[in-house]
Amino acid sequence: MKKTFRNRRFKLIDVLLTTIIVFLAMTAIVLIFTKGSSGSHLKSAISQSSDKDAVVVDKSDSKYEGIKIITETSNDPLGKYAIQYPQSKNEEFNNHVSTYIHQAKKNYLQAIRNVEIENNKRKSELNISYETHVDKKGNYSFVLMNNEYLQGQKRLSEIESFHLNSKSGEQLDIQTVFKEDTTTLQKITDRVREKIQHSEKLSEGLILDKMQIRTEPEWKNFENFAISEKFMFFYFESGSLKDVKAGPQIAMIPIGDMNDLLKPEYQVVSASPTSGDEDNQSDTSKKEDSTGEKDLESEADNVNGKEEQESGNEKSPTQAEKTGEKKIALTFDDGPDPKSTIQILETLKKYNAKATFFMLGSRVEYYQDAAKAVKASGHEIGNHSWNHPDLSKMPLAKALEEINRTTDIIQKVTGEKPTVFRPPYGAYTDQLSKQRIPPIVLWNVDTLDWKYRDSTKLLEEVKKSTKDGSTILMHDIHQSTADGLDNVMAYLKSQGYKFVTVSELHK
């Protein structure tokens, strides 16, 4: 409530204020009561720890006009979440998005309540992030990625897209961008299927019969989409829970190839870009770099487009640099990612630093170019399992398969076997460690970048605990980590650290 009343009509305002305060107080009492009673027979994780773990909501400007980024985080150790979503000036759009978010949170908290508290040792987490695509008319596609982990296991991986007409502020959906013609839907289906069939990775991920079902000519099958300047993206759920870690599958089709089906205002006039390889990262669109949001298309830009920046930072060395022999190993887990990993490579190059990337086999298979770029930049590549399961909780043979399959794909894609292995969550059995697997390397500085998703916080965490010989854990799949790395590197360099791979550090 802003204090904008400057006249003397205090009486009326007093009455109003009193009424509101009394009402709020009563609401609070009712809420406390309800919470207390509902948790009485079932010691709910949420009500138990809600006092010390307040939910944090933050609203900040995005780089996109008229769009704010809402961030909600909860550090309840038994029901963590980190949620990010866009907010526009359109109430209907905002309601649409918040309904989705509300439901996702509700489902997640419900799932946690259903788990017996004794078993609730492993981390649960709800993670919703989003990426923004802008088409040539400035219309927005927001692609929300909803990942839910229950006791350390991925339970859900889902995509939901929202769309805004930048001029009218109206919401768009799949049917509003395509021509109203009885044959349109079938043609979309045909083109998406063709794309999938010609892409080894996509057809594997959407194993043929399922692919057929998920791409039946019904609008609802194509409602999760995005339009950028050059591509149309269609998102498909990855299917079985077992494959959930791999995440949704994306079919990327050059807009030029959809021109005849799109309403004129969404068509592109220029020649269509070449469809590129299966990962579709050969596109060299000059899309601006985005902060906080992923952009699948700009990988090539990031690799080739930027000027060498080394000279700018090679100023006179500090005292520590002249004398210091301090070494640290930066490690990046859970990638590769076509956007953030590549950005990280650029930053590392700027500081002439070598690091170690612990990759997931499933992502190496999907983002081969990104994995190759890491190798080409001279960094060490480590094995981080295929799908990020808790290896200590599975039969030895299965755990070994997770590792070996990943070793194979890394060798196939980068030409070399991974030299080190880091088990997901740092969890492994004695038995597993005695097998013929690459040496296990954990970490001793955890930046918690996956939790904060805040580029400024990254430096704080590093400052807190880094010392000579530290192995620092970060995740190259988060844009916030990629964005915050430069400051971290500048700081560490000023402290005289030399950046080495984990193998070199442990030599």
Catalytic, out of 133, 163, 388, 475 = 475
- By CB under 5 A, tell whether 449 contacts Zn ion: no
Phi/psi for 43 (5° steps) reads -65, 90
CB 285 within 8 A of CB 229: yes
Q: Which is nearer to Zn ion, 334 or 476 (CB)?
A: 334
Strands 231-236 and 327-335: unpaired
Distance CA 476, CA 485 (A): 10
Q: Supply the minimum distance, in Å, between the C-beta of residue 507 and Zn ion.
A: 24
Nearest position to Zn ion, beta carbon: 333
- By CB under 5 A, tell whether 402 contacts Zn ion: no
Q: Which is nearer to Zn ion, 301 or 333 (CB)?
A: 333
Q: Which is nearer to Zn ion, 278 or 334 (CB)?
A: 334
Q: How many residues bind Zn ion (CB under 5 A)?
A: 3
Catalytic, out of 76, 243, 301, 333 = 333
Q: Supply the minimum distance, in Å, between the C-beta of residue 388 and Zn ion.
A: 6
- Six-digit token string for 171: 């919401």
Residue with tokens 């599958």: 249
Distance CA 468, CA 267 (A): 56
What are the contacts of 442-449 at 24+ separation with CB within 8 A? 442/471, 443/331, 443/471, 443/472, 443/473, 444/470, 444/471, 445/470, 445/471, 445/472, 445/473, 446/473, 447/472, 447/473, 447/474, 447/481, 449/474, 449/475, 449/478, 449/480, 449/481, 449/484
Q: Which is nearer to Zn ion, 297 or 333 (CB)?
A: 333
Distance CA 257, CA 448 (A): 42
Q: Which is nearer to Zn ion, 123 or 287 (CB)?
A: 123
Q: Supply the minimum distance, in Å, between the C-beta of residue 419 and Zn ion.
A: 17
User: What is the chain's Cα-based Rg?
Assistant: 25
Indicate if 506 belongs to the active site.
no
Residue with tokens 């997640």: 108
Indicate if 369 belongs to the active site.
no
Report the candidate in 139, 135, 155 with the shortest Cα–Cα distance to residue 147: 155
- By CB under 5 A, tell whether 333 contacts Zn ion: yes
Question: Which region, judged by CB under 5 A, interacts with Zn ion, from 47-55, 230-238, 339-347, 419-427?
Answer: 419-427
Question: Which region, judged by CB under 5 A, interacts with Zn ion, from 5-13, 138-146, 203-211, 328-336?
Answer: 328-336
- By CB under 5 A, tell whether 334 contacts Zn ion: yes
Interaction residues for Zn ion, span 421-440 (CB under 5 A): 424
Distance CA 63, CA 421 (A): 38
Residue with tokens 């854990």: 473
Q: Which is nearer to Zn ion, 70 or 156 (CB)?
A: 156
Q: Which is nearer to Zn ion, 262 or 477 (CB)?
A: 477
Distance CA 91, CA 96 (A): 8
- By CB under 5 A, tell whether 299 contacts Zn ion: no
Strands 68-74 and 80-87: antiparallel
Distance CA 47, CA 496 (A): 47
Q: Supply the minimum distance, in Å, between the C-beta of residue 371 and Zn ion.
A: 16
Residues designated as active site: 333, 475
Contact residues for Zn ion (CB under 5 A)? 333-334, 424
